[in-house]
C-alpha cells in the first residue's frame, strides 16, 4: 500500500459479515483506546474504498491485519503477537508475525475455494496447511524459513504503515511475498 495515498479512519470493529465500519470513532476516542491498550480498529482506505483493517489491542501486544479484495472479502490476514506459538515472549515493545492466512475465492461467490495458513515460530519453523474448502482435502508441510522480517515494533497511535505491507511475510521458497 502506498502510505501517501492511504487514508485512515477508526472504529470499534470492522463488520466482516456486513463489510462495513461498525461504530465509528473520531481520532480522540481511538487515541484514548490506544493509550489504554484497549481494542480498536483502523480502516485503511485507498481510492475512497476500504482496502484493509487493523485490529490493535496493545494490552495483550496484539495486532491483526486483514487485507480486503475489491469485493471487501478478506483475502489475506496477518496476526502479530508478543507471545510466540511455543509460549516464548517477544522483546518488550515488539510483536512477531506468527500467522498468515490466504484465501482464494471462486468468483463471484463469497465462499473461499482454497485456504492456506502459515504459522511461524521465532526460530523460523513454519507449518503450512493448505485446504481445498470444496473437498475438505488437506495438505500439511513443515519448513524452515528466514523470519527476520517478521518482527515489528508495536505501533504508536497513527503509525500503522509497517503493518500495511503485504510483502512482509516469508514464502516457503524463502522470498518475500509480493501481493498476497
pLDDT digits (tens, 9 = 90+) for 24-78: 999 999 999 999 999 999 999 998 899 999 999 999 999 999 999 988 999 999 9
Structural domain count of the chain: 1
The answer to whether position 25 is within a domain reads: yes
pLDDT of 16 reads 86
Q: What is the pLDDT of residue 172?
A: 54
Supply the range of the domain harboring residue 65.
Answer: 7-168
Task: Decide which of 178 and 40 is more confident.
Answer: 40
Separation CA 47–CA 40 (nearest Å): 23
* Domain-embedded: residue 175: no
Task: Examine residue 17 and state whether it is found in any structural domain, yes or no.
Answer: yes
Burial (CB count within 10 angstroms: exposed 0-12, middle 13-18, buried 19+), residue 28: exposed
pTM of the full structure: 0.87
Give the closest residue to 164 by CA, choosing from 143, 148, 180, 175: 180
Give yes or no for residue 1 having a pLDDT over 80.
no
Place of cell 507471545: 83
In a domain, 144, yes or no: yes
The verdict on residue 179 lying in a domain is: no
Would you state the pLDDT for residue 108?
A: 73
d(CA 38, CA 175): 35
Residue 139 located in a structural domain: yes
Is 151 part of any domain?
Answer: yes
pLDDT at 58: 95
Per the prediction, the chain carries an average pLDDT of 88
State residue 176's pLDDT score.
53
For 135-177, the pLDDT digits (tens) are 899 999 999 988 988 999 999 999 999 999 988 765 555 555 5
Domain assignment present for residue 176? The answer is no
Amino acid at each position: 500500500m502506498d502510505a501517501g495515498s492511504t487514508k485512515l479512519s477508526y472504529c470499534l470493529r470492522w463488520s466482516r459479515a456486513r463489510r462495513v465500519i461498525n461504530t465509528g470513532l473520531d481520532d480522540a476516542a481511538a487515541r484514548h483506546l490506544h493509550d489504554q491498550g484497549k481494542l480498536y480498529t483502523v480502516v485503511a482506505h485507498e481510492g475512497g474504498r476500504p482496502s484493509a483493517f487493523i485490529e490493535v489491542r496493545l494490552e495483550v501486544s496484539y495486532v491483526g491485519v486483514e487485507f480486503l479484495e475489491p469485493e471487501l472479502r478478506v483475502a489475506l490476514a496477518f496476526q502479530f503477537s508478543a507471545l510466540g506459538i511455543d509460549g516464548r515472549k517477544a522483546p518488550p515493545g515488539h510483536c512477531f508475525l506468527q500467522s498468515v492466512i490466504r484465501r482464494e475465492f471462486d468468483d463471484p461467490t463469497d465462499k473461499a475455494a482454497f485456504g492456506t495458513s502459515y504459522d511461524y515460530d521465532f526460530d523460523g519453523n513454519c507449518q503450512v496447511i493448505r485446504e481445498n474448502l470444496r473437498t475438505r482435502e488437506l495438505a500439511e508441510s513443515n519448513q524452515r524459513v528466514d523470519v527476520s522480517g517478521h518482527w515489528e515494533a508495536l505501533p504508536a497511535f497513527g503509525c500503522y504503515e509497517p503493518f500495511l505491507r503485504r510483502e512482509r511475510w516469508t514464502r516457503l521458497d524463502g522470498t518475500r511475498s509480493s501481493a498476497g
